[in-house]
Amino acid sequence: MKLRIEKLGRIQKADFDIRPLTVLIGPNNTNKTWTAYVLYGLLQTFSRKLSVALFPSSPSGNTKKRFREALTPLLESMNDKSAPMRVTLSLAAHSLGLNSNVLDRVVFDADNIGFALGVTPGRVPEAHAVIELSRTELATSIVSLDLTFERSLSRLQVKTHRLRRSPDGHAEESSTLVSLVSEQWTEQKILDVIGEQTLSLIENVVVFPAERNGILPIWPLIPESDRLDVPLPVKDFGRFLAVAQTAAPVGTMNASQNHLALLLKKVVGGEIAYSAEAETKRLVFRSGTVEVPIHAAASLSRAVAGLSLYIERFFQPDDVLIIDELEMNAHPQAQVALTEFIAALVNAGIRVVFTTHSPYVVDHLNNLMEAARAPEARREELARKFSLGTTSSFISPEKVSVYAFQEESPEGEVTVRDVLNRQTGLIDWSTFSRVSEHITNLYGDILRASEGEA
């Protein structure tokens, strides 16, 4: 998955290799959050679930040509009164050119980027962003489509059959059925519907903005009219909370979900769930026999409440999570545990992109990548020395990319560079070490000054 951004804030141009775990580090005000938010908007074009956005997802170019050829019997029946009133097609994925190595490509201009960031296009007049990904990168693929067009009822039904592969190689088939009625079907409208069902490559793209702590308890109280100028990720996190509140939890969580839920419980020292005491569901934090409303819980619990809801109610392999300021409100020890949890989440098949200012997170990610290269026979023993005590947190450097955002001068241009050395498998974290060195040197200057006075 490749991302290119141009003329975004202080960044003139930057290229990113978005791997299963992608980390954005660097000082404040270097456009890390803007980059994460633009990536979120681009990825939403591949999945409109849990989003208020209405980005286009209809086929174009050669894809539209293939769609039109495959759908010819259905399209011709729309206005042909001599055609059967009901036309049924069963199409294999290859007839639509799906699941091939051809890159899916989405381009955002200033209007799209402004919408994603919650600013007017005039604030980012020349901004440009492009994402490219191959369907073969993902674990979920479309097997076939069953289409039924009923002219008498003006109804189109699309049944999509998918094959989902878990990280352990287990394959599971699933299908979704969409039934739509329109007073006036056109060729373009049918192509749009088929495109929306087949071009969505990702089940869920979920964002956790830095504002999540404050939004969690008060978002339902904010009138719709007051939400207009907030960034798309903030709106979508509010919608995520609303959907989570009404969505029923899965009957039985699978092994990956159970494992992750237990790990997150270790991170926060308790459980985040909905209380069933009142008619209106209330999000609470439970630890032993103590239960408190989420707004009264520790700030770390509020910061990761969304992750808990995601695991319980939405978890699907190949989902993408965008997390701004992963370590927010976390003590260094909790930051270490949270880093291990994220690595385990990625190893369970979820893609994660997060921003961070924490040297603890970056240092510990180095530990987790190095541990993944330890001999198999030593890993269990090694895992006992880690916060969560599991080898599922050990992550291969091949799954990781890390980018440092660095200003060339105060308020000047920001450059972005890949800081994960592929030969050593370690992160060059000089963005943090420079600060540490300055503090150490400053302390020495203070001591020398004090001794001089003496």
**Residue 358 contacts residue 339 (beta carbons within 8 Å):** no
Q: Going by C-beta distance under 8 Å and a sequence separation of 6 or more, which residues neighbour residue 26? A: 32, 404, 405, 406, 414, 431
Q: pLDDT confidence of 279, banded at 50, 70, 90?
A: low
Residue 223 pLDDT greater than 70, yes or no: no
pLDDT the model gives residue 351 = 94
Residue 225 pLDDT greater than 60, yes or no: no
pLDDT the model gives residue 84 = 83
pLDDT the model gives residue 454 = 47
pLDDT the model gives residue 327 = 92
The residue type of 2 is K
pLDDT the model gives residue 448 = 72
Higher pLDDT, 341 or 290: 341
Higher pLDDT, 46 or 27: 27
pLDDT the model gives residue 403 = 96
* Per-residue pLDDT tens digits for 48-64: 677 776 566 667 667 78
Q: What percent of the chain has pLDDT over 70?
A: 85
DSSP 8-state assignment for residue 250:
P
Residue 444 pLDDT greater than 50, yes or no: yes
pLDDT the model gives residue 429 = 67
Least confident among 29-43, 132-146, 237-251, 431-445? 431-445
Rounded to an integer, what distance in angstroms lies between the CA atom of residue 8 and that of residue 113? 9
Q: pLDDT confidence of 430, banded at 50, 70, 90?
A: low
Higher pLDDT, 352 or 429: 352
Residue 216 pLDDT greater than 60, yes or no: yes
* Per-residue pLDDT tens digits for 353-375: 999 999 899 989 999 999 999 89
The residue type of 25 is I
Beta bridge partners of 88: 148
Residue 23 pLDDT greater than 60, yes or no: yes
DSSP 56-125: -----HHHHHHHHHHTHHHHHHSS-TTS-SEEEEEEEGGGGTTTSSPEEEEEE-HHHHHHHHTS-GGGST
pLDDT the model gives residue 339 = 95
pLDDT the model gives residue 63 = 76
pLDDT the model gives residue 239 = 85
* Per-residue pLDDT tens digits for 165-212: 766 667 778 888 889 998 888 888 888 888 878 877 788 899 999 888
Q: pLDDT confidence of 151, banded at 50, 70, 90?
A: confident
* Per-residue pLDDT tens digits for 321-331: 999 999 988 89
The pairing of beta strand 400-407 with beta strand 21-25: parallel
pLDDT the model gives residue 427 = 86
Residue 441 pLDDT greater than 70, yes or no: no
Nearest Cα to 400, choosing from 434, 361, 430, 435?
Answer: 361
**Mean pLDDT across the stretch 247-265?**
83
Rounded to an integer, what distance in angstroms lies between the CA atom of residue 143 and that of residue 23? 33
pLDDT the model gives residue 17 = 96
Measured at the alpha carbon of residue 56, what is the angle toward residues 70 and 129, in degrees to the nearest 5? 120
What phi, psi does 129 have (nearest 5°)? -145, 145
Higher pLDDT, 451 or 262: 262
The per-residue pLDDT of the chain, averaged, comes to 84
